[in-house]
Amino acid sequence: MVTIASPIPPISGQIFLFLFGRCQKTPIIQPRSRRSSSPSSFWQAQNQGILYLNLGVAFYNAGDLQNANTSVNQSIILIERKLNVARFQKIDDDIQRNTRLLSTARRNRGIIRYGQNRYQDSIEDFSWVIQHSTEDEPLSYYLRGMAYQAINRQEDACQDYSYAFYISDVSGSLGTRIQEEQKKCLR
C-alpha cells in the first residue's frame, strides 16, 4: 500500500471565485412552468450547468462528497448538452467556453472521486481533461499522478509528475508539490 505524502488539494479557490463571479451575474433559477418558453427562461436554463458546478464545489468544501459528486455529474450533463448544441450550430465561442467549463467540471469531479477513493474513475476524468484541454494542464497531470500512485502504478505517477513539472511554471504551492513528488520518483 502506497501512502500519499500530500493530501488531496481542495478545489482551487480561483476556480470557485471565477465560477461564483459568473454565477452572481445570473438570476436565481425559478422552477420553469410547462407553458413558459420566454427568452428569459431559455437564458436561465443555459446557466444551470454553472450553478450545479458551484453547488458541487460548495458540497465538496463542506465535506459532503456524495452530494458534491451528484451535483457535478448534473453539471457535466448540462454542459455537455450546451456543448453539443454549440457544435451543431457551429458557434466557436460557445464551443470554446463550454469545453473549458466541461474541463473544469471534469477536473472537479476527478478530485471528488479521488476523495471517495474511486481512483480509476478519477484517472479517467483527469485523462479526459488532459486530452481535451486547449492548454497545458499541470494540475491535471499532478492529480492524475496522485491517483496512479494510490493504485500502485508508480511508473505512471512519476511520468505524470515529471511532465507536470516540465510544463508548469514551478511557482507557488502546486509547483512545490510537483517538485517534491518528482524528487521522490528520482530516488
Domain layout of the chain by residue ranges: 12-27+42-135, 136-187
Q: What is the Cα–Cα distance from 150 to 81, expressed in whole angstroms?
A: 33
**pLDDT-above-70 percentage for the chain:** 72
Phi/psi at 124 (nearest 5 deg)? -60, -45
Asked if 167 contacts 141 with a C-beta cutoff of 8 angstroms, the reply is yes
Q: 59 or 136: whose pLDDT is higher? A: 59
Among 158, 156, 161, 167, CA closest to 179? 161
pTM over 0.85: no
89 band by pLDDT with thresholds 50, 70 and 90: confident
The confidence score (pLDDT) of residue 50 equals 86
Residue 121: predicted pLDDT: 95
Q: Using the predicted structure, report yes or no on whether residue 105 has a pLDDT greater than 60.
A: yes
pLDDT at 164: 85
Give per-residue pLDDT as tens, 8-67: 444 444 343 334 333 333 333 333 444 444 444 444 545 788 888 888 899 999 999 999
Name 26's Cβ contacts closer than 8 Å, sequence gap at least 6. 44, 47, 50, 51
Cell 457535478 belongs to: 72
In this prediction, residue 128 carries a pLDDT of 94
Band (pLDDT 50/70/90 cuts) for residue 5 is very low
Rounded average pLDDT over 97-107: 88
Phi, psi of 79 (to 5 degrees): -65, -40
Pick the CATH number of 12-27+42-135 from 1.25.40.10, 3.30.70.2190, 3.40.50.2300, 3.50.50.60: 1.25.40.10
